[in-house]
Amino acid sequence: KLIHVGAAASYRTLTDRKVGYSSRPESHLSLKFVDTDDLIADNVVLLGGELAGVWNSFSAQSEVIYADVQASGDMRDASFWSAYGYVSYFITGEHRRYKNKSGAFSRVKPKENFLKDSGSGAWEVGLRASILDLEDEDASIYGGVLTDVTGGVNWYLNPNTRIMANYVYSQRETKETGV
């Protein structure tokens, strides 16, 4: 059992005075669904937070990040944000392992490796939802809002081999066009 809490902040000075944000659906098999194009800016402030927990075979985690783009010239300051939540469960009894030194999760070790001693490996089911909002009406930026929902199954044959099957549903909306 564990609880992980994290926070991050950064201040970035833009030497070429350009920044832009874009993303594809989480399947990464498509063109970009949302895009701010290049924004003329002096600095960007990034703030982030994360929370994760493991309770036996069940785990949950979430993360949020906020970007404050400090514009230059005639542009207005803009802000964007993104977040996700993820839950998983090992139906074969394993759990997500954590490295205290690095503050990160490590690879899964099945109780029984596949084919070794008639083992089945480790089976995990998961569900993830995420949102990326690249719209700021006050700054007249309509890069779109991308929402993804993913359901998946992971089969860990051994600590070094994983087979994944995911279904990703993605939807793009924009406040400017309503599509």
pLDDT in tens, 107-131: 999 999 998 767 899 999 999 999 9
24 vs 151: CA distance, rounded Å: 17
Q: pLDDT (tens digit, 9 = 90+) per residue, 163-174? A: 999 999 999 998
Q: pLDDT (tens digit, 9 = 90+) per residue, 151-161? A: 999 999 999 99
Whether 73 has a pLDDT exceeding 80, the answer reads no
pTM: 0.88
Q: Say which residues have a Cβ less than 8 Å from residue 115's Cβ, sequence separation at least 6.
A: 157
Whether 162 has a pLDDT exceeding 60, the answer reads yes
Cβ 131 vs Cβ 146: under 8 Å? yes
**Radius of gyration over alpha carbons of the chain, in Å?**
20
Joined together, the tokens standing for residue 37 give 């194009």
What's residue 175's pLDDT?
75
How does residue 13 score in pLDDT terms, banded at 50, 70 and 90? very high
Whether 54 has a pLDDT exceeding 60, the answer reads yes
